[in-house]
Amino acid sequence: MKQSIMYIGTIGQSVWRSKDIGNSWTRTSNGIFAEADIRAIAVDPSNSSVIFAGTENGLYHTEDSAETWQLVDSEMNDLQIWDIEISAKNPDTIFAGTCPSDLFKSADGGKTWKRLDVELADECAGGAIIPRVTSIVIDPEDDQIVYAGIEIDGFRRSTDGGENWETINEGLSSLDIHGISVIPGQQKKIIVATNNDVCQTDNLKYWTPLTVKDHLPWSYTRAVLYCPNGENRVYIGAGNGPPGDEGGIFYTVDLGNSWEHADLGITSNSTIWNFACNDQVEGLIVAYSVSGQIFRSMDHGSSWQKLTREFGEIRALAIAS
């Protein structure tokens, strides 16, 4: 296996790094306060020493594999950063999503940023949750196409690199979008994880719920991952709520007609919050529960191992190669 470095972002314990695929960890928060809340981490696909981390007070950047960090001065300085997406085809293009909901773009590798003109909700019905951009995905076949999921405000798409956006919510089981995955091909499919189901579309006009509650013990889904090298599996992370006290990983090889329960060895201590993989690291998939457990697969998800180290609360994970 190609050498890899894993980074996790925690709530209240900043950034941690592992150089041995998760067997041991070191806090690497020099330049970020040690008790920072990290909700997003992204590694530059062209230079694995360059990493961005989203905190509750703006965006941080490192060029030495997290040995030292610097604040990126921008309009995001006082915002929570919930997701960061770097273009694989053009790493100078970076998107960031925040709470309260806003989308930002950099065209120069993160040096400067502009707020994008996209209509997003200022508040949710009832006011219990402030809307936030939870997921940004750049289309793997056309980097001018960008998708964004908002909790609780639905799905957005841009076909011109973020200049203009459209809302595509018809048929969604919920506007509470948590995760997005793109299945490329002649008939491209988009799959989203919501708070009460998984939905898919192949025409980007309307969504079809997959009614996972008919197959899974929980319908609250937080993450979705397409694994092209593992039998074209689509994985979802689910649980009994946010954060919940139970969770698991499930996968389908037939786009949701049937589901299998991945054997983690245990029921996780909370909802499985997200996945991470790296196309340059063959076979490696890592998942984590929001309450701090980490699970590793070395064979595209066919088998899983719970790592020994646990954290209080994990919100971000990235793999560099």
What is the average per-residue pLDDT within 181-202? 94
**Residues near 209 by Cβ (< 8 Å), separated by ≥ 6?**
171, 172, 173, 197, 198, 199
Q: Which two tokens stand for residue 58?
A: 């703006």
The 3-class SS string of 253-296 reads CCCCCCCEECCCCCCECCCEEEEEECCCCCCCEEEEECCCCEEE
Whole-structure pTM over 0.95, yes or no? yes
CA–CA distance, 69 with 57 (Å, rounded to integer):
14
CA-wise closest residue to 2 among 44, 48, 43, 37: 48
Q: Above pLDDT 90, what percent of the chain?
A: 91
Class of domain 5-320: mainly beta
- Across the beta sheet with 166-167, what order do the strands follow? 132-138, 146-151, 154-158, 166-167
Whether the predicted pLDDT of 127 surpasses 90: no
Q: pLDDT of 251-262, one tens digit each?
A: 999 989 899 999
Q: Which two tokens stand for residue 119?
A: 């209509």
Give me the pLDDT at residue 125, please: 67
